Amino acid sequence: MKEIIYIDNEVLGGQTVFKGTRVPVETLFDHLEAGITIDAFLEDFPSVSKEQAIALLDYANKLLNSKNLDQLYAAVA
């Protein structure tokens, strides 16, 4: 994940961003929630690579489909 995302209190107040950019990770999920395709997101934010976006979604999928959901719940509580 360290190759995909970055957190620094000096960058956007500590929001999680795509590494090497100032694009919040949340923006990708907001776009998808609004029905905007990944390709359209990438057009809007060309500093994010398709590989970064796909890797993040893959990681989120694995995390949310983990058999250790109790640990996930505890981490976000």
31-67 pLDDT per residue, tens: 999 999 999 999 999 999 999 999 999 988 887 787 7
pLDDT value at residue 72: 66
The pTM of the whole model exceeds 0.85 = no
**DSSP 8-class letter at 13:** G
Q: Determine the Cα–Cα distance for residues 62 and 59; give it in Å rounded to an integer.
A: 5
| pLDDT band with cut points at 50, 70 and 90 for residue 77 | low
Residue-number span of the structural domain to which 48 is assigned: 5-76
Q: Determine the Cα–Cα distance for residues 24 and 11; give it in Å rounded to an integer.
A: 10
In the chain, how many domains are there?
1
What is the C-alpha radius of gyration for the chain, rounded to an integer number of angstroms?
A: 13
CATH number at residue 40: 1.10.10.10
Residue 8: name the closest of 60, 48, 19, 50 by CA. Answer: 19
